[in-house]
Structure 1
Amino acid sequence: MANKTSQHILSTSANLLGFCLFIITSLHLSNKSENNLIDEFTSVVALLLTISCVLSFISIRTQNKNREYKLEQIADYLFIVSLIGIFAIIVFMIFNFWNK
């Protein structure tokens, strides 16, 4: 296989997507209305991780080398943006719960 990172992006994005869905579910179960911003931001990050998963999967399955490279690059960029988003969510949650 020519692509080197698509397999790693696919598995890690799927795991982090579960983390985001866990955050969204826990916020809804705890009825934290003041955490609406965290909920919305986590939903955006979950969407980016889902797109990254799909693109990395298509990159693995395609036979066209040019398309494989482009899809892998886009999935890689979306993944790093999602990681930064998860970091921001964690920092925001720490500050939110620290101030209580």
Structure 2
Amino acid sequence: MARDNFPHILTASSTLLGLCFVVLTSLKISNSSEASLIDEFTAGAIVMFMVSSMLSYLSMRSGRFAPKPQYERIADIVFLAGLTFLFVTTMLIAFNVIK
């Protein structure tokens, strides 16, 4: 049962992917040695959002030749994992666990 969520997943994951790139680039430009764990977590979120974007795109382009619900379901799960990963990273930064 496909709900055709792939346009929403594609839009949100590509936006968050861009945000993660901005964060990672700003950490590299600032040359902060304290940001070691932050940039690793951000790189992990980049991978998750990129996979989610690609699977959403494949779901949109697959049509009748591939199992569309399977692509969409996996993209949804990976997107939620990326959101969770980004949330945990943000909370660690906010509460000064990662310095």
Deviation digits for residues 60-93 of structure 1 (CA, Å, limit 9, x no counterpart): 1112376100000000000000000111121122
The residue identity in structure 2 corresponding to 1:56 is S
Deviation digits for residues 3-57 of structure 1 (CA, Å, limit 9, x no counterpart): 4210000010000001111110111111111110110111011011001000000
TM-score relative to the length of structure 1: 0.88
Task: Specify which structure has the higher proportion of helix.
Answer: 1
Q: Which runs of 5+ in 1 are unaligned?
A: none
Whole-angstrom distance in 2 between the partners of 1:64 and 1:38: 41
Instruction: State the aligned residue count.
Output: 98
TM-score relative to the length of structure 2: 0.89
Counterpart check, 1:22 vs 2:22:
yes
Check the 8 A contact 1:27/1:39 in 2, yes or no: yes
The residue identity in structure 2 corresponding to 1:58 is L
When the two chains are superposed, the root-mean-square deviation of aligned CA atoms in Å is 2.0
**Percent identity of equivalent pairs:** 38
Q: Which runs of 5+ in 2 are unaligned?
A: none
Check the 8 A contact 1:52/1:76 in 2, yes or no: yes
The answer for the alignment partner of 1:34 in structure 2 is: 34
